[in-house]
Amino acid sequence: MKRKETEEVHKLFDEFSKTYILNKQSFLTSDAITISDDHYEDCYKRYVVNYMEGNRSFDSKIDEQFEGAELGPRLVFAHAQWLWTYAVRDKRTETKKGYAKHILSNQDVNLREDVYPYGFGSAGQWHNQNKYNEILFCLILLKVLREKVNSGEIESIQDIKEYTEKFCLFVKYSSFEEELVIPKRYKEDLHESKTATANILLYIVNPDDYEPIASDNHKSKVVSSFSSLVPLDNSEFEDYNTDQIILKIRHVISEYFSPNFD
């Protein structure tokens, strides 16, 4: 359920969707900067195609991968980083701002200060340790959304939310393949690594059906702890995924407590 403390998170996602995805303008700067398809391609090539192995720090690899890059592809990467981290509470506001400042250092732009909410919950260690794949997930999602805006398949904020939900479920459960068209090269690049961001975005785009829980492990523990409340042996639930079972558990518990219990 949508909660008072997450209102700003939802509001910012709507603004981000309108400005950056639909209108193709930078959301992170107070300057009106248009983000082109070529900027996406350049960023994708630098971060994904030219991926760097090795034990060097993430920032040092990024510095090398984006060496000589123009402002556009840097902004694409900065927006993917923002989507990865903006909604979580266990990262300091200055840390979130620092990601954009680093990739856009020496660029003549005015960064916004009002797009970093307090957020909700703790995303946990995996969200940070899996940094490359978390940002990769965001970058691919945003790139596919851009392509669907270009083709006219996505025309509204609600369209963005509905596609994002399906995309997250596909990544989590490898389902919805017939309904969700993801170009083959993106499926191959997504890897098999689970992402906390998929869980975070599910709650952001559809708080009525998902919980503000980033960890797959935590969601599994909810199911194992409360599964006796729902008839999981019933054929009706055979094909339910973890998130659907948790929603059923919420409905049962809501009969005893407030529907908005956390």
SS3 category, 101: helix
Per-residue pLDDT band for 230 (boundaries 50, 70, 90) equals confident
The angle, 0 to 180 degrees and rounded to 10, between the axes of the packed helices 196-205 and 131-151 is 40
For 154, left (φ over 0), alpha (ψ -120 to 50), or beta?
beta
Which of 31-45, 118-132, 163-177, 240-254 bottoms out in mean pLDDT, i.e. has the lowest? 163-177
Average pLDDT over residues 233-259: 84
Provide φ and ψ at 199, rounded to 5°. Answer: -70, -40
**DSSP 8-class letter at 118:** -
Residue 176 has pLDDT above 60, yes or no: no
Q: What's the number of CA atoms in the CB half-sphere (13 Å) around residue 146?
A: 21
Residue 177 has pLDDT above 60, yes or no: no
Per-residue pLDDT band for 189 (boundaries 50, 70, 90) equals confident
d(CA 87, CA 6) in angstroms, rounded, equals 9
Give pLDDT tens digits for 28-69.
Answer: 999 999 999 999 999 999 999 988 888 889 999 999 999 999
Residue 2 has pLDDT above 90, yes or no: no
Q: Which amino acid is at 129?
A: Q
pLDDT score, position 211: 95
Q: State the burial class of residue 209 (Cβ atoms within 10 Å of its Cβ: 0-12, 13-18, 19+).
A: middle
pLDDT score, position 180: 67
**DSSP 8-class letter at 29:** B
Give pLDDT tens digits for 82-106.
Answer: 999 999 999 999 999 999 999 999 8
Residue with the larger pLDDT of the pair 191 and 158: 158
Among the listed residues 118, 124, 114, the one whose alpha carbon sits nearest the alpha carbon of residue 92: 118
Percent residues over pLDDT 70 in the chain: 93
Among the listed residues 157, 167, 205, the one whose alpha carbon sits nearest the alpha carbon of residue 23: 157
Give pLDDT tens digits for 210-222.
Answer: 999 999 999 999 9
Per-residue pLDDT band for 167 (boundaries 50, 70, 90) equals very high
d(CA 21, CA 148) in angstroms, rounded, equals 10
Structural tokens at position 124: 């946990």
Q: Which amino acid is at 170?
A: F
Q: 63-100 burial, b if ≥16 CB within 10 A, otherwise e?
A: eebbeebebbbbbbbbbbbbbbbbbbeebeeeebbebb
pTM for this prediction = 0.94
